[in-house]
Structure 1
Amino acid sequence: MFLETMQLTFLLAFLTMIILLPIGIVMGGYFYYARGLGRLILEVLVWLPLVLPPTVLGFYLLLALSPTGFFGKFLLEYFGIKLVFSFEGILLGSVIFGLPFMIQPIKAGLSSLPSYLTEASFTLGRGKVYTLFRVLLPNIKPSILIACVGSFIHAVGEFGVVMMIGGNIEGVSRVASVAIVDEVEMLNYPLAHQYALTLFAVSFVLLFVMLYINKRFLNDRT
């Protein structure tokens, strides 16, 4: 049970990171280029998971994805897909909740670049898409790596959204953060400690790597 739960936890975190990476690049580029009220509204929506309790987001996702909700009913009737209490459902919730952890480092990395890079590319007749992918992104590889590590760490430890959408189904939606609470309620402290210590060790190592990259990057730029 322990190995199955940990495999599911890391699979969820890895897939969340992979899905978020192209989204983070595109939206980071949009925030870098865009101006106006539309950008501000979209930024507020993206940053909401940072200030909302996870259970709030999880509750509304549960309502939207349930077979009685508009979106959930549509998916079930036309595609035969049921997202609540499924791995796909917790993956969707993890992606939505992890958006700011991927987008923010990429946006910050783009904003830290000197403006002459963009101006020189535009002067040579290159468009925004070419400039983003061929000029700007190659210069913020550390920021992209930090975004990937940060979103992975966050997905590993996510509890509220996953619990609300997926419940605690072994082999389907039972991730380590949910398993810890379940084992504590059953007074199975040794297994709860095993889960907690594993998450602590993995998070410590990945956070160390992220901070080391950040420090090394800042030193190289100064």
Structure 2
Amino acid sequence: MLLTAVWVTLKLATITTIILMLLAIPMAWGLANMQSRLRPVLEALVGLPMVLPPTVLGFYLLLFFSPNHAVGQAWLSLTGTTLAFSFTGLVVASVLCSMPFVVQPLQRAFEQLDKGLLEAAAMMGAGRMDRFFNVVLPCTRRAMILAACMGFAHTIGEFGVVLMIGGNIPGETQVLSIALFDAVESQQFTEAHQIAAGLLVFAMMLLITLYSLDRKPVAQLPLKSNPGRS
């Protein structure tokens, strides 16, 4: 059962991270370049899960996912299954809950990007999409890695939203954080120690990797010597 929880956890974190990166990159770029009074409001909406108790977010998502609500009813009509207490619902909830941990590092990196590089690329005839994919993304790849790791790690460690939306269905919605709670509740402390120790080691290794990456010096372009000078 523990291996099953590991598999569900890794699958959830991987799918969530992929979706987050696809959504967060354009969101972060839009926020970084937005010149509107609505920007603080949008930033607050994106960052809301960082300060909102996860059970509050889980409660409202549970209402939205219910067949009595338009969203849940439409999903039930299309698929014949409910979003609540399903792996799909867990993915949706995890994406919303981990969104600020991915968007904010990317937004900060985009804001700190040297705009002169984009101007130089534009003068050389590069289009908007060309500049984004060949200048912006390569220059912010560290932030991309950081954002992906943060989203992945936060999804693995999330408990409140997962419990509210997914419940505790082995092989379907039981992730490691729920399995740990279940083991403690049933006084299976040996299994609880194994899960807790594994999560602790994972978190420590991830943080060491991220801090090492952050301290790694940026590669500098070699300067060509001037043959006219000795």
TM-score w.r.t. structure 1 length?
0.93
Native 8 Å contact 1:67 1:82 kept in 2: yes
Gapped regions of structure 1 (runs ≥ 5) = none
| From 206, 209, 220, the counterpart of 2:218 | 220
Give the percent of matched residue pairs that are identical in Structure 1 and Structure 2.
39
Larger mean Cα displacement after TM superposition, 76-85 or 50-59: 76-85
* Pairwise CA distance, 1:41: 2.1
Q: Deviations over 1:104-128 (max 9, x none)?
A: 1111111222121122234445444
- Please say if 1:65 is aligned against 2:60: no
Q: Which amino acid aligns with 2:37?
A: L
Alignment of 1:5-154 (within 5 A): 5-124=5-124, 126-154=126-154
- Please say if 1:162 is aligned against 2:153: no
Question: Which of 1 and 2 has greater Rg?
Answer: 2
- In the aligned structure 1, how far is the partner of 2:78 from the partner of 2:14? 29
Q: Which amino acid aligns with 1:183?
A: A
Gapped regions of structure 2 (runs ≥ 5) = 221-230
Q: Deviations over 1:50-104 (max 9, x none)?
A: 1101111111011001111220011112332421101111111001111111111
Change (3 A) 1:40 1:130: farther
Q: Which amino acid aligns with 1:48?
A: L
Q: Please give the secondary structure, in 2, of the residue aligned with 1:170.
A: coil
Native 8 Å contact 1:84 1:166 kept in 2: yes
TM-score w.r.t. structure 2 length?
0.90
* Pairwise CA distance, 1:31: 1.4
Deviating runs (4+, > 4 A) in structure 1?
A: 124-127
Q: Please give the secondary structure, in 2, of the residue aligned with 1:37.
A: coil
- RMSD, matched Cα: 1.7
Q: Please give the secondary structure, in 2, of the residue aligned with 1:85.
A: coil
- In the aligned structure 2, how far is the partner of 1:201 from the partner of 1:127? 45
1:190 alignment partner in structure 2: 190
- In the aligned structure 2, how far is the partner of 1:31 from the partner of 1:134? 20
- In the aligned structure 2, how far is the partner of 1:23 from the partner of 1:213? 24
* Pairwise CA distance, 1:14: 1.0
Native 8 Å contact 1:5 1:170 kept in 2: yes
- In the aligned structure 2, how far is the partner of 1:45 from the partner of 1:106? 16
- In the aligned structure 2, how far is the partner of 1:72 from the partner of 1:125? 48
Q: Which amino acid aligns with 2:23?
A: I
Q: Deviations over 1:16-48 (max 9, x none)?
A: 111111112111111122210233222111100
Larger mean Cα displacement after TM superposition, 165-174 or 116-125: 116-125
- In the aligned structure 2, how far is the partner of 1:72 from the partner of 1:157? 26
1:176 alignment partner in structure 2: 176
Q: Deviations over 1:105-161 (max 9, x none)?
A: 111111222121122234445444332222111111111011111111111100011
Native 8 Å contact 2:2 2:179 kept in 1: no
Q: Which amino acid aligns with 1:220?
A: V
Change (3 A) 1:207 1:91: same
